[in-house]
């Protein structure tokens, strides 16, 4: 009986330039994304009982495509597909098969201007790795915290997208906007951002912590003052 094994792969990808989708009808950009880095942690089911770790720095994209007039179920959607080589520029030409990360955004007027509805990662065989076939990792169950309202964009210091088979896509310092009409493939200087829930909680905690520290400092100063005053009174009585 064959034992199931897991192959763990960890990749880091830095955006050399924003990921964008251009709308040929409006001559504007409907999707713009950038990030300091994107790490992919994927687990392949193998036939032996060993666990192999594969690490590589992905230093560029192979191709970026998308659709500004897409559908997802009965909902209006926009999508972006990013193709890349897991070994970056070191990928041998004879074995070069790009991987593909797809993100699908939707829009509901009463809920949000845009939100991430679905995503997937399609992998291809990599030289020196047992994963010998194309495998598609899909969105795992759970809430996705990537959305914004009105004309706002989204940003987060660390945004994790859970995949099937206990895999993960993690983006550091990500900014994203969809259903936009931007004249340039970048964010405007005056762009307003909505933070992810994790960063919002941190922003709420900081003033509370600072306030507590200041309150504690006031108490310490007050106690020191009262002690000094009491000591001065005792010294005054002693001199009399």
Q: Are residues 185 and 216 in the same domain?
A: no
Q: Are residues 154 and 44 in the same domain?
A: yes
Per-residue 3-state assignment (H helix, E strand, C coil) for the chain: CCCCEEEEEEEEECCCCCEEEEECCCCEEEEEEECCEEEEEEEEEECCCCCCEEEEEECCCCEEEEEEEEEECCEEEEEEEEEECCCHHHCCHHHCCCEEEEEEEEEECCCEEEEEEEEEEEECCCCCCCCCCCEEEEECCCCCCCEECCCCEEEEEEEEEEECCCEEEEEEEEEEECCCCECCCCCCCCCCEEECHHHHHHHHHHHHHHHHHHHHHHHHHHHHHHHHHHHHHHHHHHHC
User: How many separate domains does the chain show?
Assistant: 2
Q: Greatest CA span in the chain, whole angstroms? A: 100
Q: Are residues 87 and 166 in the same domain?
A: yes
- We report the CATH number of the domain holding residue 56 as 2.40.160.110
- What pLDDT does 84 receive? 87
Task: Going residue by residue through the chain, which has 240 residues, state the pLDDT in tens, using 9 for 90 and above.
Answer: 434 445 555 555 555 578 999 999 999 999 999 998 888 888 877 677 665 656 554 567 889 999 999 999 989 999 999 998 877 656 655 557 888 999 999 998 777 899 999 999 998 877 666 666 788 999 999 888 999 999 999 999 999 999 998 888 989 999 999 999 999 999 999 999 999 998 975 544 445 545 555 666 766 667 666 677 666 666 555 554
Residue range of the domain that includes 48: 5-194
Q: Are residues 82 and 152 in the same domain?
A: yes
Residue 158 contacts residue 198 (beta carbons within 8 Å): yes
Identify the three-state secondary structure at position 20.
Answer: strand
pTM for the model: 0.76
């Amino acid at each position: 009986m064959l034992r199931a094994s897991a192959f763990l792969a960890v990749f880091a990808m830095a955006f050399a330039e924003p990921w964008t989708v251009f709308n040929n009808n409006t001559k504007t950009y409907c999707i713009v994304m950038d990030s300091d880095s994107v790490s992919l942690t994927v687990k392949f089911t193998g036939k032996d009982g060993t666990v192999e770790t594969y690490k590589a720095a992905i230093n560029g994209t192979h191709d970026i495509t998308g659709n500004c007039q897409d559908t997802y179920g009965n909902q209006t959607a926009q999508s972006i597909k990013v193709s890349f080589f897991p070994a970056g520029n070191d990928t041998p030409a004879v074995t070069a098969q790009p991987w593909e990360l797809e993100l699908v955004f939707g829009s509901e007027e009463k809920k949000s201007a845009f939100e991430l509805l679905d995503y997937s990662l399609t992998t291809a065989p990599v030289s020196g790795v047992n994963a010998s076939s194309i495998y598609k990792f899909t969105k795992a169950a759970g809430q996705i915290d990537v959305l914004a309202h009105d004309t706002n964009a989204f940003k987060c210091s660390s945004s994790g997208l859970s995949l099937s088979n206990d895999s993960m896509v993690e983006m550091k310092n990500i900014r994203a906007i969809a259903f936009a009409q931007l004249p340039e493939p970048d964010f405007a200087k005056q762009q307003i951002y909505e933070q992810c829930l994790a960063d919002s909680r941190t922003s709420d905690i900081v003033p509370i912590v600072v306030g507590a520290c200041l309150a504690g400092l006031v108490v310490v100063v007050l106690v020191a003052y009262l002690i000094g005053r009491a000591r001065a009174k005792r010294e005054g009585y002693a001199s009399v």
